[in-house]
Amino acid sequence: MSVLVNKNSKVIVQGFTGGEGTFHSEQMMDYGTNVVGGVTPGKGGQKHLGKPVFNTVKDAVDATGADVSIVFVPPAFAADAVMEAAEAGISVVICITEGIPVSDMIIVKEYLKDKECRMVGPNCPGVISAEQAKVGIMPGFIFKKGNVGIVSKSGTLTYEAVDQVTKVGLGQTTAIGVGGDPIIGTTIKDAVELLMNDEETDGIIMIGEIGGNLEAEAGKWIQKNGSKPVVAFIAGDTAPKGRTMGHAGAIVGGESDTASAKKEILRSCGVHVVDSPADLGVKMAELLN
């Protein structure tokens, strides 16, 4: 098994014919992802990369039976693209776009509440199930089928973890980039929960950063429900404390969100926290052997 995407996923690309959409669609298809078409309003009826282009997500779903969408639409239109996917019956929408206004995402989050649609991202590298389907922008060749699930806020740091896992002789089930924006569709806790319930995943690597409560929330969930070892790294130990003009955010956040505070919380929840990102793979191997 794997989570969110697999070899049976029928994927459409929103923003298919644009520069980023074209480049990454080719990369995804090279990896073996079942890309069944794409959406670019006004270009419906054309072919692109040998696949049909549709005017609306609804048309694409009706014609192809697509169930997963990846969004490469520019930030001003990306929120609308996500809602369109949800309305058309897409069950997983992965939004790569960076730079979407927070006020747009507040609306999207509200809109998705009563839809059977999970959003991953925005501002994320996407989701990949090793040797099955890549629905994102990560370098596919570093992934190897195996039993480690990966959840991360960051792009290149995910690749680092994946590479280490592969080099110690393990491999990955699914890697989920949740994104670093203030409002995201799938939280670290949500992603950990998916992997915890996945039969083929035996261990989970969780990569967080300073800021926000997502890691602590995941830690508390793991403490209660965890059945598999979780290795975590929190980037930003050396990051100086934020100097924003007001301090209201810290109060709403409640708990301290520095790297060391997060590590402490995670350790108290039974998560194996490594201080150096160079130790992620080794630590996972140690726990699984």
Partner 1 sequence: MNKKYSLNVVRNNNFLHLPKIILIMNLHEFQGKSILKKYGVAIQEGIVVDNSNDAIDAAKKLNTETGSEWFVVKAQIHAGGRGKGKVIETGSNGVVIAKGLNEVEEKVNGILGGHLVTAQTTDKGKKVNKVLIAEDAYAPDFDKTSEFYMSVLLNRETGRNIIMYSTEGGMNIEEVAEKTPHLIHKEEIDPKVGVTAFQCRKVAFNLGLSGKAFKDMVKFVKALYSAYEGCDASMFEINPVLKTCDDRIIAVDSKVSLDSNALYRHPDYLEMRDLSEEDPMDVEADAAGLNYVNLDGNVGCMVNGAGLAMATMDIIKQSGGEPANFLDVGGTADADRVEKAFNIILKDKNVKGILVNIFGGIVRCDRVAKGIVQAYKSIGEIPVPIIVRLQGTNAIEAKEIVDNSGLNVHSAITLKEAAEKVKTLVH
65 phi-psi bin (left φ>0, alpha ψ -120 to 50, beta other): left
- Paired strand residues for 5: none
Q: Which is nearer to partner 1, 50 or 240 (CB)?
A: 240
Residue 238 touches partner 1, criterion: CB under 8 A: yes
Residue 137 touches partner 1, criterion: CB under 8 A: yes
* Choice from 50, 114, 116, 241 touching partner 1 (CB under 8 A): 241
Distance CA 133, CA 263 (A): 32
Residue 256 touches partner 1, criterion: CB under 8 A: no
Distance CA 175, CA 206 (A): 10
**Residue 142: how many CB atoms within 10 A of its CB?**
20
Q: Which is nearer to partner 1, 77 or 200 (CB)?
A: 77
Residue 227 touches partner 1, criterion: CB under 8 A: no
Sheet holding 145-152, edge to edge: 133-136, 126-129, 172-177, 145-152, 203-209, 230-235, 272-273
CB 72, min distance to partner 1, A: 8
247 carries an active-site annotation: yes
CB 213, min distance to partner 1, A: 7
Q: Which is nearer to partner 1, 227 or 238 (CB)?
A: 238
The pattern of x and - marking residues 5 through 34 that bind partner 1 according to CB under 8 A reads ---------------x------x-------
Residue 102 touches partner 1, criterion: CB under 8 A: yes
CB 236, min distance to partner 1, A: 5
Q: Do the Cβ atoms of 82 and 106 come closer than 8 Å?
A: no
Name the token pair of 42: 């006004």
The catalytic residues are: 247
